[in-house]
Chain A
Amino acid sequence: MGKTLAEKILSEKSGTDAKAGDIVIAKVDLSFVQDTTGPLTVRTFQSSSMTELANPDRTVLFIDHAAPSPSSALSNDHILLRDFSRQSGCILSEAGDGVCHQIVAEAYARPGDVVVGADSHTVTAGGLGTFATGMGSSDVAVAFGLGKTWFRVPETFKINVTGDFQKGVSAKDLILHLIGKIGADGATYKALEFHGSAIEKMSMSERFTIANMAVEAGAKVGLFASDETTKKYLEAEGRGKDFQPLAADADALYEKTININVTELEPTVSKPHTVDNTAPARELKGTKIQQVVIGTCTNGRLEDLAVAAGILKGKKRAPSVRLIIAPASRRVLLDAIEAGYIKDFVEAGAIILPPGCGPCLGLHQGALGDGESCLSTANRNFEGRMGNPKSFIYLGSPATAAASALTGEITDPREVM
């Protein structure tokens, strides 16, 4: 019997013939934390019997969630991370460099790697064919010290995606649709593996958007084959040597197959307060919003900003809406400046945030007021997520977000394109 991508990678990294359901100890190729989970990880590591990092040059501390810091307490957490980086020899990614998942994709993750991060959206790197998953501070502290961790090899759902996206519809709509279909716990403990003609045609940016949200269906990983698109992406990042082709075996065993034809897909929105509470954007016409966020690890890449700029260029945001743009990394910001998108956004009345997580997790840079609603391109709309349990978060694509910023209400982007 052949192997799924998860079985292939975990077999290689554990030196066993790994099959779904097995417990394996796997080598970890990259482990990382961010500034809200990192301090606990560092303290846990320091309080343990472990003294040295297994792989300092494959251990990264990211300052991205509270960057730059909004408070002295968080600034002190940043000092702790900087000190640990100096003492241990690991890599520090500073405030302003960007969101951990974007930088892991740009600079670190390789097809076939095992990556563990103290952040649930570590799954993003699955777009490169990387077995990347989120863990807590204790697990990552142990990965720091031992360079390995244990996994239960997940069963896999094959997501077979065919057809062609219609104008105004994108990868974000696909993943929201899938989560709406299977539920926020529909893939708990499972791997999602994406196949089909629509997936083969997708850019890396779109693959990252989909992989990023695998955890919102409960999945351990969201995996894509490593193909020519992957190769070209890595070459463009100056990492051509990191490429290796990787695909599931044709006779791999899947727990189930889910077929989606994207030709029929519409712009889709998740309503408060769960990601699986989805509806077509057109059905939410008339829902007033006070804030729009375009960015984050889900949709803060250049392609996302290009789509938004295409809709916003030469127009003005609705006076009732705060329009917030948060590029996912310094590279994305530079490229967006170069392409003229930042000028388009500023002229449209947007606020440009430094590269980082922005207001996604309610820490700063756009917390919501009582009774306010936000349309965000992020990945999570839980009660209280954006700093206020009395507010409402809707999730959508960059096109839906940009269109809604123009009208002040949730808007199907096809109406303004």
Chain B
Amino acid sequence: MLKGKAHKFGDSISTDHIIPGRYAHLRSNLPELARHVLEDADTAFASKVKPGDFVVGGSNFGLGSSREHAPLVIKMAGVSAILAKSVARIFFRNAINLGLPVLICDTDKIDDGDELEVDLAAGTVKNLTNGAGFTFGKIPDVMLNILDEGGLIPYIQKHGDFKL
């Protein structure tokens, strides 16, 4: 069971919003890079996010670059899951590969600052602030298996290969 506060963003949050290319020189200094997480969408995000919180987006969250640094700095901020109406393909796969759950659901029922409770196994989200309860879309089995191992590298470490 995951519990934390929602940080709400709009539609089309790109990888450039999440971690802009102008910080490419910090990509080998991850703690420093992570200080700029989501800076171009909300300059205060890095200072207000708490471990266990949720990033909540609208449609097409994470569009753009293949940079795995984007989900990585969100994970480093202590975020326990990303909730969005829809998510861009490469970002989705990258987040799961890092062991960061991405849950597809109707985020209109969530406002900035709401307290959420997520049951990953049951596939449910409860908005403790407004009482709304809803479900999120099933993560494909192949990705769920990777997520269950904590990401792609631990998965390969354990299985030595892809297992369908």
Which residues does A use to contact B, with CB under 8 Å? Answer: 23, 25, 36-37, 39-40, 44, 47-50, 65-66, 70-71, 73-74, 76-77, 80, 117-120, 122, 134-139, 141-142, 145-146, 148-150, 152, 184-185, 188-189, 215, 218, 220, 274, 361-363, 367, 380, 382-385, 387-389
Contacts and interface: CB of A to CB of B under 8 A. Distances in A.
B157 A48 contact: yes
13 contacts: A39-B28, A40-B69, A44-B153, A77-B28, A119-B66, A122-B66, A136-B94, A138-B98, A189-B89, A215-B90, A362-B21, A384-B40, A387-B22
Given A135-B90, A138-B94, A185-B86, A25 B16 contact: no
Given A37-B66, A150-B164, A362 B20 contact: yes
Contacts of A361: 21, 24, 65
A384 B59 CA distance: 19
A362 B22 contact: yes
Interface residues of B, number: 45
Contacts of A382: 14, 16-17, 64
B48 interface: no
A383 B93 contact: no
Given A73-B28, A363-B22, A363-B24, A48 B88 contact: no
Given A134-B90, A218-B89, A387 B21 contact: yes
Of A80, A139, A220, chain B has the most CB atoms within 10 Å of the CB of A139
B82 to A, nearest CB: 15
A70 to B, nearest CB: 8
B14 A383 contact: yes
A351 to B, nearest CB: 20
A48 B60 contact: no
A23 B25 CA distance: 37
Q: Which 6 A-B pairs have the closest CB atoms?
A: A136-B68, A136-B94, A361-B21, A185-B60, A73-B25, A138-B97
